[in-house]
């Protein structure tokens, strides 16, 4: 039988249990940390000093037209191609089902000639309705944030810098609404990308780079349009403010099925994260320097959360409570800094006294304190996914595997109608994943396979039905006459080889909160400032506080986590 | 055909009208939706998709073969196999006239499991169509630790332990499918293929895969549309209220 190796040779690391870590509400409280994908990407961009130059800047005064940036890395040349157009306010939508956008983009291999540009011009603005090719790595689009874009242009064209209080409320001037990679619409497959384009061989690296470039373009566009409107009076955006402007993102249910479809990948990302924390607990002890860093980061994180502006009351409660609790934690650390001998004491204190949101915030801060100590784990983020059947496994072994790893799933009572009230389906509108209520909506017969807990239950029940008659038969014999169970059997077998296993939730429950799934994945991207618009979609901010393209080549400190409002035009990095 | 020529050939193909260039991810996803649309969750539709995908991505025209068979697959929903007849000498599996596109994985599970237990397994698969569906599984058996010899009326195939790709030979006159799977290569009777030239060797399959991974796969637009027509059956019509099911 194939074995997955633990990430650390030291198997005595104090890893948290799957029971603690894999509960969905906790996963929905994760914060970005040093191995989040956009942090990994920028460390590479900055350390390798990628060159990013505009080679075509063909925009009219209002910023409509085409732009091509050429990106030179130590390994290859890429082009980032942008089509910017006038869009009426009525057409501007964050939804996947939108048909038109302010900006459409692609990241592709090599330099761009006129023929290539023409091909991209015909296809990229169409997004899902176009076709690109395997030289394209990412296809994406973005819309202006109406709240901020016009305001920033107005200020700059009148010779003023925008008010930071206003910027702080949103944090970006453009917002991406979909970022596609991995072979969609004819693009390069992930397996091809990771072999051929080493610069983007880490998970979601090309997608994150695309978002970084949209941010870069949005800042250049603001300066361009302001200058076009008022050539004499316009000023350029201050660098400190530019760094504080990120790129917005709207994420909906489309992200949720990914987490269920790729449990090995998610389990691996969790394992890397937990290994980071366990390593710190095992090998690092509080001292003057680390305690000083920790205290500074706690204050920064508290301010960061305090500055988040959302009109979602639940998120405000979470943020306010986390601020209060980390401040209490800060007091506790100061009171105990002479006697604190290991970080487990801090973790224990947090788990006994604070809510899950605060516990995970403190864990993320600890990984920031020791970022350099865990960076080697970055190489472990990739994994080859294979959910292969192990047909010679005995049925009683499979049963034991379920009892050991899926006790959580067996606890749900699927005879209760509320346990299966929700169903997930794909709409004929761009195959958008949607949620339905069994008692209200049609489409249950076409539901998506999001029901892992229920399927495990079915499998377990069918094993129990034949128990006593012959449990020493192989899984192959069992599945031969029960092909409907084969998928869940190979999933149970495969996930049994991972340390963290499945996300523990019944996604069919009447009260399921898919937003936890979204935030879990977004934390691995490195996204912050969650602004839930409902339980089904969330706005958030990427790359806020990150270095600018013009900072490449300068000394880089990887400390832009928990971005906070700069004081006037102070530089953040 | 060497890799370079094959690459140019495939790229050129995509320029020809009525062909569409699609990525592996797109094809696998499309096939998965096709089988989900036909069989729902009553069968391992992802594995069925993988069966056809393997053939297509290794140069065995999986899509064309599936398209030929689709009307029949779509019409016959009951694809459950009767229990296999297992004796000391041979396992007999009656496919009742069905296609191996839908059941190859179940049969392979059984064969590999028995071989692991007993060292060697002889199988007769009767009343079965589309023996090609078995090819992709031969190399996946337990980290390539098993040796197999497959005889059908369309082709014969052999794989030795450690190899990822079977070698394909010409057909032998054989009304049923005969498959010998063994932990030890020397337990397999290879007299049928001795001195025969392979029709498709492992290098050719590997090259096709690598070039296709790099450039994408060119498939006929007509076939692509036929597959999508079936795949789209899993989609739910959109209404004003259903739009709220993904947010405002």
% of chain B surpassing 90 pLDDT:
71
The predicted structure's pLDDT at residue A1: 39
- pLDDT tens-digit series, residues B91-101: 999 999 999 99
CATH topology of domain B3-78+204-236: Hypothetical Oxidoreductase Yiak; Chain: A, domain 1 (1.10.1530)
ipTM above 0.85, yes or no: yes
The closest alpha carbon to A549, from A41, A49, A58, A108, belongs to A49
- Interface-testing mutation among B10, B13, B25, B85, with chain A (most A C-beta atoms within 10 A): B25
Give burial (CB, 10 Å; 0-12/13-18/19+) of B240.
Answer: exposed
Cβ pair A476:B21 closer than 8 A? no
For the cut 90, the answer to whether the pLDDT of residue A202 exceeds it is yes
A538's enclosing H/E stretch is strand A538-542
Q: Indicate whether A453 pLDDT > 60.
A: yes
Q: What is the DSSP letter of A275?
A: H
> Does the beta-carbon distance from A391 to B242 stay under 8 Å?
no
Q: What is the chain A residue with the closest CA to B39?
A: A484
Q: Does A369 touch chain B (CB under 8 A)?
A: no
Task: Say whether pLDDT at A169 is over 90.
Answer: no
Q: Is B138 helix (H, G, I), strand (E, B) or coil?
A: helix
The Cα A288–Cα A259 span in angstroms is: 40
What are the residue ranges spanned by the domains of chain A? 51-252, 395-495
Nearest to B235 among A95, A131, A428 (CB): A428
Task: Quote the CA–CA distance of A316 and A338 in Å, as a whole number.
Answer: 34
CA distance B193 to chain A (A): 29
> What is the chain B residue with the closest CA to A478?
B110
What mean pLDDT comes out for the span A166-174? 91
The closest of A452, A445, A512, A254 to B236, measured between CA atoms, is A445
Which residues on chain A are in Cβ contact (under 8 Å) with B26?
Answer: 183-186
Mutation target among A93, A136, A183 for the B interface, most CBs of B within 10 A:
A183
Q: How far is CA B48 from the centre of its chain?
A: 8
A315 pLDDT exceeds 80? yes
Domain range annotation of chain B = 3-78+204-236, 85-200
**pLDDT of amino acid A571:** 40
Nearest residue, CB atoms, B106 vs list A97, A392, A480: A480
Closest in B45, B81, B232 to A480, CB measured: B81
Secondary structure of residue A75 in the 3-state scheme: coil
Residues of B in contact with A441 (CB under 8 A): 241-242, 245
Q: Whose CA is closest to A466, among A452, A451, A482?
A: A482
Contact A480 B109 (CB under 8 A): yes
Pick A443's closest partner by Cβ from B24, B41, B236. Answer: B236
A205 vs A211: CA distance, rounded Å = 10
**Strand locations in A88-207, DSSP E?**
103-109, 136-144, 172-180
Measure B204 CA to nearest chain A CA, in Å. Answer: 19
DSSP label of A196: H
Architecture of domain B85-200: 2-Layer Sandwich (3.30)
CA distance A54 to chain B (A): 28
Nearest to A485 by CA among A512, A455, A515: A455
> For chains A and B, what is the number of CB pairs under 8 angstroms?
154
Average pLDDT over residues B145-161: 91
Average pLDDT over residues A220-249: 96
Percentage of chain B beyond pLDDT 70 is 90
* Listed range (A347-351, A395-399, B50-54, B145-149) with the worst mean pLDDT: B145-149
pLDDT average, residue stretch A433-450: 93
Question: A241-295 pLDDT, tens per residue?
Answer: 999 999 999 888 988 999 999 999 999 999 999 999 999 999 999 999 999 999 9
**Pairing assessment for the beta strands A538-542 and A136-144 based on DSSP bridges:** unpaired
- Taking residue A511's Cβ as centre, other Cβ atoms within 10 Å add up to 9
pLDDT digits over B16-45, tens only?
A: 569 999 999 999 999 999 999 999 999 999
Can you point out the beta strands (E) in A2-102?
51-59, 65-72, 77-84
Residues A456, A77: Cα–Cα separation, whole Å: 48
Confidence at residue A572, expressed as pLDDT on a 0 to 100 scale? 38
The answer to whether residues B110 and A391 touch, using CB atoms and an 8 Å cutoff, is: yes
* Contact: A477, B81; criterion CB under 8 Å: no
For residue A471, the model assigns a pLDDT of: 65
Q: Please give the residue of chain A at the shortest CA–CA distance from B80.
A: A481
pLDDT of the residue at A95: 82
| pLDDT (0 to 100) of residue B5 | 52
Residue found by looking up tokens 């191996």 in the block = B100
User: From the list A192, A434, A490, which residue is nearest B246 (CB)?
Assistant: A434
Cα–Cα distance list, A244 to A39, A215, A305, A538, B218 (Å): 16, 11, 15, 20, 46
H helices within A390-509, ranges in order? Answer: 395-405, 407-410, 452-466, 475-480, 486-495
**pLDDT-based confidence at A390, cuts 50/70/90?**
very high
Q: Which of A185, A480, A535, A540 to mutate to test the interface with B (most CBs of B within 10 A)?
A: A480
């Amino acid at each position: 039988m194939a074995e997955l190796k633990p990430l650390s040779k030291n198997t005595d690391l104090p890893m948290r249990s799957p029971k603690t870590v894999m509960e969905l509400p906790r996963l929905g409280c994760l914060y970005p940390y040093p191995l989040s994908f956009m942090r990994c990407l920028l460390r590479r961009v900055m350390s390798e000093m990628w060159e990013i130059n505009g080679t075509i800047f063909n925009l009219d005064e209002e910023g409509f037209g085409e732009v091509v940036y050429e990106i030179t890395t130590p390994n290859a040349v890429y082009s980032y191609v942008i089509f910017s157009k006038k869009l009426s306010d009525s057409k501007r939508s964050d939804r996947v089902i939108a048909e038109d956008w302010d900006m459409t983009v692609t990241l592709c291999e090599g330099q761009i000639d006129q023929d290539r540009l023409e091909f991209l011009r015909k296809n990229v603005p169409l997004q899902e309705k176009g076709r690109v090719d395997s030289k394209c790595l990412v296809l994406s689009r973005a819309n202006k944030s109406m709240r901020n874009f016009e305001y920033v242009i107005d200020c700059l064209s009148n010779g003023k810098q925008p008010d930071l209080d206003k910027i702080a409320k949103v944090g970006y001037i453009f917002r991406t609404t979909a970022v596609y990679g991995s072979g969609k619409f004819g693009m390069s497959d992930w397996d091809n990308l990771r072999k051929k384009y080493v610069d983007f061989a880490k998970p979601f690296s090309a997608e994150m780079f695309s978002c970084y470039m949209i941010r870069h373009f949005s800042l250049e566009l603001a300066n361009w349009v302001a200058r076009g409107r008022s050539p004499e009076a316009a000023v350029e955006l201050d660098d400190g403010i530019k760094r504080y402007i990120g790129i917005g993102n709207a994420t909906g249910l489309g992200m949720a099925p990914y987490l269920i479809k790729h449990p090995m990948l998610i389990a691996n990302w969790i394992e890397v994260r937990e290994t980071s924390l366990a390593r710190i607990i095992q090998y690092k002890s509080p001292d003057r320097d680390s305690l000083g860093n920790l205290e500074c980061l706690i204050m920064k994180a508290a301010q960061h959360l305090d500055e988040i502006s959302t009109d979602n009351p639940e998120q405000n409660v979470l943020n306010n409570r986390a601020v209060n609790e980390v401040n209490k934690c800060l007091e506790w650390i100061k009171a105990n800094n002479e006697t604190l001998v290991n970080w487990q004491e801090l973790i224990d204190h947090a788990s006994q006294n604070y809510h899950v949101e605060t516990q995970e915030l403190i864990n993320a801060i600890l990984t920031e304190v020791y970022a350099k100590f865990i960076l080697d784990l970055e190489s472990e983020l990739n994994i080859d996914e294979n959910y292969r059947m192990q047909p010679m496994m005995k049925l009683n072994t499979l049963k034991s595997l379920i009892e050991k790893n899926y006790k959580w799933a067996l606890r749900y009572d699927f005879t209760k109608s509320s346990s299966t009230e929700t169903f997930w389906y794909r709409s004929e509108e761009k195959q958008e994943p949607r949620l339905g209520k069994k008692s209200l909506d049609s489409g249950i017969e076409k539901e998506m396979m999001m029901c892992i807990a229920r399927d495990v239950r079915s499998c377990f029940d069918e094993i129990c039905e034949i128990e006593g008659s012959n449990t020493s038969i192989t899984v192959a014999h069992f599945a031969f006459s029960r092909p409907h169970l084969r998928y869940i059997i190979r999933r149970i077998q495969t996930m049994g080889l991972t340390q963290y296993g499945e996300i523990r939730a019944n996604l069919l429950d009447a009260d399921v909160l898919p937003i936890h799934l979204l935030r879990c994945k977004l934390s691995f991207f490195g996204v912050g400032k969650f602004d839930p618009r409902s339980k089904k979609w969330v706005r958030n901010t990427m790359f806020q506080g990150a270095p600018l393209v013009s900072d490449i080549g300068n000394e880089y400190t990887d400390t832009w986590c928990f971005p906070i409002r700069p004081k006037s035009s102070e530089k953040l990095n | 055909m060497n890799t370079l020529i094959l690459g140019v050939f495939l790229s050129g193909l995509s320029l020809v009208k009525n062909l569409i260039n699609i990525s592996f991810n797109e094809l696998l996803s499309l096939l998965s939706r096709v089988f989900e649309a036909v069989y729902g969750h009553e069968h391992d539709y992802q594995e069925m998709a993988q069966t056809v995908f393997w053939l297509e991505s290794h140069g065995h025209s999986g899509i064309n073969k599936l398209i030929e068979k689709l009307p029949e697959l779509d019409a016959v929903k009951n694809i459950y196999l009767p229990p296999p007849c297992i004796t000391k000498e041979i396992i007999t599996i009656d496919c009742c006239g069905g296609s191996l596109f839908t059941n190859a994985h179940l049969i392979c599970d059984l064969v590999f499991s028995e071989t692991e237990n007993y060292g060697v397994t002889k199988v007769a698969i009767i009343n079965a169509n589309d023996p090609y569906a078995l090819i992709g599984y031969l190399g996946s058996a337990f980290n390539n630790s098993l040796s197999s010899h497959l005889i059908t009326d369309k082709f014969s195939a052999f794989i030795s332990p450690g190899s990822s790709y079977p070698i394909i030979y010409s057909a032998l006159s054989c009304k049923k499918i005969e498959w010998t799977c063994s932990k030890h290569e020397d337990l397999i009777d290879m007299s049928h293929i001795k001195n025969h030239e392979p029709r498709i060797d492992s290098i050719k399959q590997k090259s096709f895969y690598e070039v296709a991974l790099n450039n994408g796969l060119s498939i006929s637009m007509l076939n692509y549309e036929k597959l999508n027509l079936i795949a789209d059956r899993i989609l739910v019509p959109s209404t004003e209220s259903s739009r709220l099911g993904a947010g405002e």
